[in-house]
Chain A
Amino acid sequence: MTNYQGKAWKVGNDVDTDLIIAAKYLNDASDENMREHCLENVIEDFANVISPGDILVAGKNFGCGSSREHAPIAIKAAGISVVVAKSFARIFYRNSINIGLPIVTAPEAVDEIDHGDELKIDVDTGELVNVTKGKTYKTEVFPEFIKEIIAKGNLLNYVKGQVK
């Protein structure tokens, strides 16, 4: 699936992995624990106020800091369908691709998205529609190799064929 639609939740620049999921919760990597504490110091009660399929919209350098894969896992477990940002920190970027959390780099669109806007995104073609504002954007598309990982769902499915 490459099409997503949901309501935008906006966060700022340089949201780090400690804010996404604090290290004190990393002694239990279960989806339930990750979901419960996801972004809790950024948006109060985040996991319970969002609806499944909603879209997280961030400023620059989203996911900077630690290599913890728990960060994209927590966002996925919370029910976010796709993350749109002006830019992503590199380990967060690859972790998201590797675990199958769709991400979209769209600096121009982010500036014009307000909290609560209804968004439609096709990750494959890179088309992002702000339904509320009636505006369409072309966003960065992934290179073919990364598209292949995304098509398989995650990195492990991708490498399965290669392991003896």
Chain B
Amino acid sequence: MGMTMTEKILAAHAGLESVKPGDLINAKTDIVLSNDITGPVAIREFRKLETEKVFDKDKVVMVPDHFAPNKDIQSAQQCKELREFAMEQNLTHYFEVGRMGVEHCLLPEQGIVGPGQLIIGADSHTCTYGALGAFSTGVGSTDVAAAMATGEIWLRVPESIKVIVKNKPKDPWVSGKDVILYLIGKIGVDGARYQALEFTGDGLQYITMDGRQTIANMAIEAGAKNGIFPVDELTKAYIKDRFKEDYTVYESDSDAVYSMEVEIDLADLTPQVAFPHLPSNTKSVYDIKEDIVIDQSVIGSCTNGRFEDMEIAANILKGKKVAPHVRLIVIPGTQEIYKECINKGIVDIVIDAGGVFSTPTCGPCLGGYMGILAKGERAVSTTNRNFVGRMGHVESEVYLASPAIAAASAITGKISSPEEVK
């Protein structure tokens, strides 16, 4: 019986010839990630073990990004714990404020993650790196503590769902965000629970590496363990000057077994909006007939904080003004993206339109800071979750969409398709 990409990567890291869905394995980890929220808890647990050093200082990565730059005294304390541990352990990949970015934008950009790897992170959106052909999944702080000590993780081998992406988009505004929102709308927030979402098909050639990262990033919003893409020419071009290690390209066998197949026809796809309070509550932007007046538009996060996202938003905002009652908050994912935005005039465009351009942080996405919603307020956001109270008051609302829709909506002051501001 053939194996899927996910099964092959897991088998290789568990030292096994083959694995099948449902097997419980102990696998070696290539990267173990945590942040300023989950890291301190992992460090507290790590200290309980009879070991002083992490298993490999090159493979344990820490990024203070959620409440950093420190939003308050308690957050400062947590960042300090992370920093002191990183210094004590002499970690190669610790990113201080000024060098840090939103972790899932930062690690691929810096060449820390690559094809064929097994990556775990105490952050649910660790599944992002599946865009590069890696097995990558979110775990908890105790998992990270154990993996920091042993270099291993226990995993249940997931069933795989085959997502066949076909044809070329006809709508010029369709992006990776629309693919994943549409899929979650179709299969539900637990439609891929415990399973791998494997993307395949001729349509993938039209989805950029930034777009693929957006798609893999939100695999967790369908309950998936991981999202994974084949390694193709686009992947190789992306990692060429970044990822310096030798890597193995794993391909699914033609007789690999899938629990389900889902087809997405890019030619029929339109820009999507997920209404409160679940990412599965999706609708085509063209089907929204009522005026959904917004107070805030957020463009950024580990889902849509990459350069392409900034560029799409800027092209729509150029020469336009943000509606008087709207706060537009643009947050690039990393310092490198920030610099590119300066060099390409994107920061000027955002500021001239009446928006703010922030230093990288997860900030508002999880209701941390830098754009909290008051009671009854409504935001359109390129982030990944629209749960009750996610971005602020328990009676506030978040609508999830692409950078194109978030930018267009900032101009009109209501949820709008980019067609409306052309």
Contacts and interface: CB of A to CB of B under 8 A. Distances in A.
B397 interface: no
B208 interface: no
A66 B190 CA distance: 14
A156 B45 contact: yes
B74 A28 contact: yes
Which of the four size classes fits the interface of chain B? 35 or more
A57 to B, nearest CB: 18
Contacts of A26: 37, 66-67
Interface in A1-56: 14, 16, 18-19, 22-24, 26-29, 41
Contacts of A151: none
A139 interface: no
A143 B48 contact: no
A27 B122 contact: no
B38 A69 contact: yes
The 4 closest A-B pairs by CB, nearest first: A95-B140, A27-B74, A23-B366, A69-B140
Contact of B49 (A27, A73, A94, A160): A160
Please indicate which of the listed interface residues B48, B126, B220 has the most CB atoms of chain A within 10 Å of its own CB.
B220
Contacts of A110: none
A70 interface: yes
A155 B142 contact: yes
Nearest to B149: A163
Interface of B: 24, 37-38, 40-41, 44-45, 48-51, 66-67, 71-72, 74-75, 77-78, 121-124, 126, 138-143, 145-146, 149-150, 154, 189-190, 193-194, 220, 223, 225, 278, 366-368, 385, 387-390, 394
Contacts of A95: 139-140, 142-143
Contact of A163 (B51, B66, B139, B394): B51
Contact of A98 (B66, B143, B189, B225): B143
A156 B223 contact: no
A108 B82 CA distance: 44
Contacts of B24: 143, 145-146
A60 interface: yes
A99 interface: yes
Contacts of A162: 150
Contacts of A156: 45, 48-49, 142, 145-146
19 contacts: A23-B66, A23-B367, A24-B367, A27-B75, A29-B40, A41-B388, A65-B387, A68-B38, A69-B38, A69-B140, A89-B190, A91-B220, A98-B142, A99-B142, A146-B24, A156-B48, A156-B142, A159-B149, A164-B51
Interface residues of A, number: 42
A67 interface: yes
Contacts of A146: 24
Given A23-B367, A67-B124, A69-B141, 10 more contacts: A18-B385, A23-B66, A61-B193, A90-B225, A95-B143, A99-B140, A99-B142, A156-B146, A159-B146, A160-B49
A163 to B, nearest CB: 5
Contacts of B189: 14, 61, 64
A82 B178 CA distance: 39
Contacts of B149: 159, 163
Nearest to B121: A67
A87 B190 contact: yes
A9 to B, nearest CB: 18
A94 B139 contact: yes
B124 A66 contact: yes
Nearest to A33: B74
Nearest to B372: A24
B164 to A, nearest CB: 24
Contacts of B366: 18, 23, 66
Contacts of B50: 160, 163
A65 B385 contact: yes
Nearest to B120: A67
